[in-house]
């Protein structure tokens, strides 16, 4: 049930990291969202942007588990309140690691620890490859893919 992806990106870990945590990068790869976090382990984290509840829709929220710039970000996440009434009971863990490989960066994403019968699993398994492709394209070219959204 774990989702695991490896992507090789023609950019440095610092460039890829910038895409993952800067307002500019997050907005580009997550369709206008921002990431709200102090980036202190144990603190809250949320992806907020246009959606069901207007421009301030909370798409996912949770707690930061690990944060080492240019290397790893890991967090527990829940779907936003507008998605499911029992959103607080639904949980999964996302871990993204960056590793230099030659003149590239290997990005590994592991999305695991899914709550049993999590209703977002199928949608998430379809969207991660698009998001990761956007990260790769944006880090390499400064542009995102036109995925029709």
Q: Say which CATH architecture domain 3-141 belongs to.
A: 2-Layer Sandwich (3.30)
Residue 148: pLDDT band (50, 70, 90) is: confident
Q: What is the pTM of this model?
A: 0.94
Task: List all residues 6 or more positions away from 116 whose beta carbon is below 8 Å from its beta carbon.
Answer: none
The proportion of the chain whose per-residue pLDDT surpasses 90, expressed as a percent, equals 93
Per-residue pLDDT tens over the stretch 39-97 = 999 999 999 999 988 999 999 999 999 999 999 999 999 999 999 999 999 999 999 99
Q: What is the pLDDT of residue 8?
A: 98
Average pLDDT over residues 109-138: 96
Structural domain spans, the chain: 3-141
Contact in structure between 13 and 105 (CB atoms under 8 Å): yes
Q: What is the pLDDT of residue 31?
A: 87
């Amino acid at each position: 049930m774990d989702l695991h992806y490896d992507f090789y990106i023609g950019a440095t870990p610092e460039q890829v990291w910038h895409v993952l945590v800067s307002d500019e990068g997050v907005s580009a790869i997550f369709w206008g969202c921002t990431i709200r976090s102090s980036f202190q382990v144990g603190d809250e984290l949320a992806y907020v942007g246009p959606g069901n509840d207007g421009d301030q829709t909370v798409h996912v929220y949770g707690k930061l588990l690990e944060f080492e710039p240019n290397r790893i970000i890991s967090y527990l996440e829940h779907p936003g309140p507008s998605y499911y009434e029992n959103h607080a009971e639904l949980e999964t863990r996302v871990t993204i690691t960056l590793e230099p490989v030659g003149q590239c960066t290997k990005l590994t994403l592991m999305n695991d620890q899914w709550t049993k019968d999590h209703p977002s699993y199928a949608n998430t398994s379809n969207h991660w490859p698009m998001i990761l492709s956007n990260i790769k394209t944006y880090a390499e070219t400064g542009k995102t893919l036109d995925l029709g959204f």
